[in-house]
Amino acid sequence: MAGEPFVDRLVRRIEELENPLCVGIDPVLGRIPAHIREEAARRHGQNERGAAAALYLFGAAVVDAVAPLVPAVKLQSAFFEAYGGAGVEAFWQLVLYARQKGLLVIADAKRGDIGSTAAAYADAFLGHEAPVSAWADPDRYADALTVNPYLGSDALEPFVKRAAALGRGLFVLVKTSNPGAAELQDQVLLSGETLALQAAKLVDALGAKHVGRSGFSAVGAVVGATYPEDLARLRAWLPHTFFLVPGYGAQGAGAAEVAGAFLPGGRGALVVAARSIIYAFSSEHAGPEEFRASVAAAARSAALDLRAAARRAT
């Protein structure tokens, strides 16, 4: 049975903190501070289990630094999956740790498939339905998941159904932040609309029955800040859709580019920054205190920048 919808929890937490920043945790082993890698190697050896432990310790330290400041973190599953079963285990340990620290957790896995496979992905990231739920740990799941719409509505419906049933959220790829996004997403269809706009309409239709008290749907959209004109147009098309906005920070977008993501009142968007925050320390030889202080300072600076961007929408 669903609890309070994810999007309502997210909106409330953003308003409490006056901060629409989501910290992306994309841990690359070679960029993790040396003291964390050394500790992991001492515990587990220089192997995949040691690597996974380093990713977890790094992610947990980031969580500790930002938990009082931001409403949510986004964990990119690929960086963990790169280290096999140990990495997958570390991913879910970090999901649980971040939730215990009061953060909402978005699993960035970009899943998408049809029928029973889509339902299995929903099981994996959002939670099982009865009677299988009796076999699962109800506390380990993510609060929301990124999904790919390329296979169409029947591939998304199992995710929508599960998210609505369990109070979770989805973020559907609509206009991504990468340089090659235009190669497909800007292609004009026979209808005269771009593929990105068609994906936006699909998001709107799938989410129409799942709007929470906040006025936003359980089905959100991923729209990159690196295409600010498209961001503003899609915002106008989707007044009840919450946006997850990558591209801010290391990918080059700033407050001016992000501003179009917000509705009047500065609502409706969660802006992701990853590398510009989690690697804000001076070098791999940064000690624990410098590491955590640098990450927290970068998160505070981004929060101030984004508050200003949100106010421009008022």
The one catalytic residue among 101, 110, 161, 201: 110
**DSSP-derived 3-state class of residue 145:** strand
- Rounded CA separation 16/149 (Å): 32
- Rounded CA separation 19/186 (Å): 31
The full DSSP string for 202-261 is HHHHHHTT-B-TTS-BSEEEEE-TTSHHHHHHHHHH-TT-PEEE--BSTTSB-HHHHGGG
- Please indicate whether residue 201 is annotated as part of the active site: no
Query: 87-98 as b/e, with b when 16 or more CB fall inside 10 Å?
Result: bbbbbbbbbbbb
Estimate to the nearest angstrom the gap between the alpha carbon of 308 and the chain centroid. 22
- Rounded CA separation 182/196 (Å): 9
Q: Report yes or no: 253 and 273 within 8 Å, Cβ to Cβ.
A: no
- Rounded CA separation 127/118 (Å): 13
Task: Supply the residues annotated as catalytic.
Answer: 110
